[in-house]
Amino acid sequence: MNTADPGLREEEEGEASGQGGGGGRRVGVPSTALFTDQYELTMLQAALRGGTADRRSVFEVFTRRLPSGRRYGVVGGTGRVLDAVENFRFDADVLAFLREQGIVDEPTLEWLASYRFGGDIWGYPEGEVYFPGSPILRVEGSFAECVLLETVILSILNHDSAIAAAASRMAASAGGRPLIEMGARRTHELSAVASARAAYVGGFASTSDLAAGFRYGIPTVGTSAHAFTLLHDSERDAFRAQVDSLGSGTTLLVDTYDVAEAVRTAVEVAGPDLGAVRIDSGDLLLVAHRVRQQLDELGATSTRIVVTSDLDEYAIASLAAAPVDAYGVGTQLVTGSGHPTCSMVYKLVARAQSADPKAPLVPVAKKSLGAKSSRGGRKWAARRPDAYGIAEAEVVGTGQVPAELADHLLQTELVKGGEVVAHEPLDVARARHVRARGALPMSSVQLSRGEPVIPTEYV
C-alpha cells in the first residue's frame, strides 16, 4: 500500500471505520502509548507505589480563553481521539524501550503490559462549538488509567480544533462558495492529513491530500501546477496536453505568463465548456473581474473561476463581491490562521478519597493567583437558547441539571466501560457544525475582534 502515513496498515476489506466523509477506509494505527510525556508514567509509578492509583478520578478538557479575537471555538479531532484511546497499548517493543531507558520500574511495566482504558468518556460531539470553560471532554476512571491519556488527547484536540475553527471562519467568509484544502506541503506530512480532516469538519468541501481522501473519504481534487506549463514549449501545448488527458471539464492554470492571453488560449483549446480557470497571483479582486468578463465575451459563461495564493478568512471576505466560484487555501489554514493551538488543558477536577468504588467524589482544583485558575467538580454543560432558538449563554454547572436546561445538554457518551460507542461518519460531524454555527448569534461570523459571542455562566 502506498500512503503518506508511514506505519499505517489497511485492515480487512469491508471494515468501515465510521470516520469517512464519503466512506473512508478502515486504517489501523500503531500503538499510541508513547504519544505522551514522561511525567505521566512517573506519576503512575508513584501512585502505584503510594496506593492511590486506583482512586476513581475525573479529568476534564477545557480552555480558559479563546484565541484573541475569536468569537467561538470548534471541536475537532474527537474521532481521532477515540482511535487513539483504542490503540493506547504498551506492546513488547514499547515496554522494552521503557525498560532500557529506565523510565519506570518493573512493577509499573507489569501494570502497563495489560493496560486497557476501561473507563468512561463524555464530551462535546465533533463539530460542536465551544466557549471558555466548556467541559469539552470528560474522562472518568481510575487515576492510573486516566492520567496516561492526557498528552495524546490534548495534542489531537488542540491541533484539530484550531484547524477546524480557522476552516469555519473561512467557510463563513466564503458565503457558500466551496473551499479546497491545499496545505499539505506547508506542514508535517501527518499533520497534513489531520488538517484536511479538521478542515472538512469546519466546512471545506475537498482536499488535495490523497492520504486524507484514502483515510477519511474526503473528496479529493487537483489538476496541474506552473511546472506543467513550464515543461512545455508553449502554454497552448500544455493546455492541449491537459485537456486531452483530463477532458474539457478540467481546471487550467492561467497566470504562468500573461493572464489575458492564457484565458483566450484556454477557451480556444478546451472550448466554451472549459470547466474552470485558476488564478494564483496578482490582485485577485481585479484579475477575477477581468477574467470573468473575458470568459463571458468568449462564450465560456459556465466556466468557473478558482482563486488561490495564500488566502485566509480576511482575504476570502475581501473577495465576496468578486466573480469567484471557489477558493483554494493552504498555509493559513493548516497553521490555524495565526492560532495553531487552542490552549486546551486536561485537569483533574474530582477524585475519590479512597480506592473503594463506592467512595464519593471530592471536587479538586488548583489554586492560582494568575490566569491559570480552574473550577473543581464533575461538570455538565448546556447551551441556553433565547425565545428565538438562538444561543444566549453557555451554562456550566455541577450537581443537578436545572429542568429547563435538560433538553439542551451538550455532552454525549463517547466511551462506556472502555468501549467506544460513538464512532460516526465524518459527514455527520460536518453537518453538526453547520447547525451549531447557525444557532449562534449573527455576530459570531464577524471577523472584527471581539469577545466570545455568548458568555459562559457557572451555576
Distance CA 306, CA 324 (A): 6
| pLDDT tens per residue, range 147-184 | 999 999 999 999 999 999 999 999 999 999 999 999 99
User: Which residue, chain included where needed, has cell 486524507?
Assistant: 212
User: In which band, very low, low, confident or very high, does the pLDDT at 16 lie, cut at 50, 70 and 90?
Assistant: very low
Cell numbers standing for residue 184: 499539505
The pLDDT assigned to 19 comes to 42
What pTM was estimated for this model as a whole?
0.92
pLDDT beyond 50 at 427 = yes
Domain residues of the chain, as ranges?
9-164+344-458, 223-324
The pLDDT assigned to 28 comes to 57
pLDDT beyond 90 at 305 = yes
- Find the mean pLDDT for residues 77-96: 96
Identical fold at 9-164+344-458 and 223-324? no
User: In which band, very low, low, confident or very high, does the pLDDT at 103 lie, cut at 50, 70 and 90?
Assistant: very high
| pLDDT tens per residue, range 250-280 | 999 999 999 999 999 999 999 999 999 999 9
The pLDDT assigned to 2 comes to 34
The pLDDT assigned to 29 comes to 56
- CATH T-level assignment (fold) for domain 223-324: TIM Barrel (3.20.20)
pLDDT beyond 50 at 311 = yes
Which residues, in sequence order, are CB contacts of 46 under 8 Å at separation 6+? none
- Find the mean pLDDT for residues 228-249: 98
User: Which residue, chain included where needed, has cell 479538521?
Assistant: 198
Q: Please tell me the total number of residues recorded for the chain in this structure.
A: 459
Q: Which residue has the higher pLDDT, 372 or 449?
A: 449
Per-residue exposure over 157-168, b if at least 16 CB sit within 10 Å of its own CB, e if not: bbbbbbbbbbbb
- Find the mean pLDDT for residues 416-436: 97
The pLDDT assigned to 22 comes to 53
pLDDT beyond 80 at 384 = yes
pLDDT beyond 60 at 439 = yes
| pLDDT tens per residue, range 18-30 | 344 556 765 555 7
439 backbone dihedrals φ, ψ, rounded to 5°: -90, 5
User: Which residue, chain included where needed, has cell 488566502?
Assistant: 311
pLDDT beyond 70 at 102 = yes
- Asked if 186 and 337 touch (Cβ cutoff 8 Å), the reply is no
- CATH T-level assignment (fold) for domain 9-164+344-458: nicotinate phosphoribosyltransferase (3.20.140)
- Asked if 395 and 459 touch (Cβ cutoff 8 Å), the reply is yes
Distance CA 386, CA 119 (A): 36
The pLDDT assigned to 436 comes to 98
The pLDDT assigned to 25 comes to 66
The pLDDT assigned to 250 comes to 98
Chain-wide mean pLDDT for the chain?
A: 93
Which residues, in sequence order, are CB contacts of 431 under 8 Å at separation 6+? 127
